[in-house]
Amino acid sequence: MARSPPHSEVSSGKSPIIAPEVGLSTKFTASDRLSGRTSGGYVVQVLGCKVSQIEAGHVARILETAGLARVGATGTADVVVLHACTVTERADRDAFRLLRRLRREHPSALLAVTGCLAERDPDALALRPEVDLVAGHRTTEALGRLIGEAAAGLIPGKIAAPSVSPEEVLRSPLAWTTGPGRTRAFLKIQDGCGRRCAFCIVPSLRGDERSAPSAEVEEAIHALGSQGVPEVVLCGVHLAAFGTERNESLAALLERLGSRPPPCRVRLSSLEPMEAGEALVDLVAAGGVVAPHLHLPLQSGSDAVLRRMRRGMTAARFLALLLRAWRANPRIHLATDVIAGFPGESDAEFAETEALLRDLPLASLHVFPFSPRTGTAAASLVPTAGVPRVVVSRRAARLRALDAEFRSRFARSHDGCEADLVTLNGGVGLTETYVETALAAGSPPPGTRIRARLALRADGTLEAQPVGPAC
């Protein structure tokens, strides 16, 4: 599963191409209960990975279809939705902290929780005084109706019953988020995970793997590019497994995009290395339509730990895969995830991880202290094989120091180079190799794709000077 960034508020921007929405014929609003009006305002906040952000954008569209309007930063909402992940203990703490803050800021609003957090333990979530409605993945499409029912006190225990069947959940997961305030589009093309890694709760919350048809994905990418979106990021819970249930593949999709290039750059989010394979690695390393950027989660550099994690991967295989990509394109951004302090991880096994990471041509590293999730195999190992927290913290700090070293080295390697760059908000740009740069004065507005020359500044960061339109 992809990493969890800080929370952000979802734009309510609309797109002429949106995923089908059902169960929205009845237009109830929480404001009927609160103020007697026939319309009201909403706020959607998200905590989680790119997939969660896309889904939160979909929630915002559902609320607008149900008759609500987005509230600005200083406004008071009638309905507040927190779409949150639950991949780690820290994610839960962040979500509960945000729930308390949202209740303080919107004391009279109906507050609903959606996303994976609503799936994992809805009974416990419903007991929290801040929460008025808990709506899991199979209730999202009917959220407009459910808000009205919750406002009328018609949902016992605050927990919404599933509004669609398991078969309907397996419909195409195609959805995206874009609009005012966003410079790139994030396109969800896959959902669910069939793997059972020992530490991960996500498969039990997301269900079976399912993918959007390749033809629909191609059409969406071309349409978004034609609307002026400079980059489309393809996302999924298990993106490398895209299309397998349809006898399709992510590599085949990228090959078709290469033969009929869209008017935008395409980037891949996190890929499980067990399914990525050499063909996909070769396509990404070659660049072209797809940005040369691979995020392949490793989790541990010790084969013994990888076996306990049920990763289906060896350190040697991972090393060979990354070296293959780097030899094909030394400028490619190679990133990975590592868990510090998995149950039973000895000093020697952690040393194996450090040694492997130093042998890899990595540009960045994402570090996660082990967090036991109830219901996973790894959680049952904690009582007998748990690593002391102080040791976990020390190991995580060492890995984060490695990450800083890798990022600095990769940034320096771009000094004097030209790059395919997308201008973002806040006076920064993003290269095809996933490096953020400062933008020189007079650069084009956010959401523009350009060629730029990069120069290393005294503080070790890069500045981009536009030299022309993107190739």
Per-residue model confidence as pLDDT tens digits over 81-120: 999 988 888 889 999 999 999 999 999 999 999 999 998 8
Note the pLDDT tens digit of each residue in 437-463.
999 999 999 999 999 999 999 999 999
Q: How many separate domains does the chain show?
A: 3
Higher-pLDDT residue of 128, 40: 128
Specify the CATH number for the domain of residue 77.
3.40.50
* 437 bridge partner residues: 429
CA–CA gap between residue 340 and residue 299 (Å, rounded): 8
Residue 3 lies in a domain: no
407 contacts 363 by C-beta, under 8 angstroms: yes
Domain boundary among 122, 143, 167: 167
Mean pLDDT check: name the lowest of 26-40, 243-257, 427-441, 451-465. Answer: 26-40
Q: Give the whole-angstrom CA distance, residue 435 versus residue 416.
A: 14
Query: Is 109 domain-assigned?
Result: yes
Q: Residues of the chain with pLDDT > 90: what percent?
A: 68
Regarding whether 162 and 174 lie in a shared domain, the answer is no
The answer to whether residues 182 and 66 belong to one domain is no
Of 147, 167, 187, at which residue does a domain stop? 167
Residues 41, 146 within the same domain: yes
In this structure, are residues 176 and 188 in contact, taking their beta carbons and an 8 Å threshold?
Answer: yes
Residue 292, domain member (yes or no) = yes
Confidence band for 23, pLDDT divided at 50, 70 and 90: very low
Please report the sign of the dihedral spanned by the C-alpha atoms of residue 394, residue 396, residue 399, residue 404.
Answer: negative
In this structure, the answer to whether residues 174 and 153 fall within a common structural domain is no
Q: Region of 406 please: left (phi>0), alpha (psi -120 to 50) or beta.
A: alpha
In a domain, 383, yes or no: yes
Give the domain extent around 423: 418-469
Structure-token pair, residue 342:
């998995």
Q: What is the pLDDT of residues 246-282, one digit of tens each?
A: 899 999 999 999 999 999 999 999 999 988 889 999 9
The three-class DSSP label of residue 168 is helix
207: left (phi over 0), alpha (psi -120 to 50) or beta: left
Q: Which residues contact 91 (CB under 8 A, 6 or more apart)?
A: 4, 47, 48, 84, 85, 117
pLDDT band at 173 (very low <50, low <70, confident <90, very high): low
User: Is 1 among the domain residues?
Assistant: no
DSSP letters for 88-138: SHHHHHHHHHHHHHHHHHSTTSEEEEESHHHHH-HHHHHTSTT-SEEE-GG
**pTM for this entry:** 0.81
pLDDT at 454: 97
The pLDDT of residue 10: 43
What is the rounded end-to-end Cα distance, in angstroms, of the chain? 33
Q: For residues 11 and 469, give the distance between their C-alpha atoms in angstroms, rounded to a whole number.
A: 28
Q: How many residues does the chain have?
A: 471
Assigned domain for 71 exists: yes
Task: Indicate the pLDDT class of residue 80, thresholds 50, 70 and 90.
Answer: very high
Domain final residue, candidates 131, 150, 167: 167
Same domain flag for 328 and 447: no
Shared-domain flag, residues 215 and 336 = yes
Q: How confident is the model at residue 34 (pLDDT cuts 50, 70, 90)?
A: very low
Q: Do 116 and 249 fall within a single domain?
A: no
The CATH number that applies at residue 460 is 2.40.50
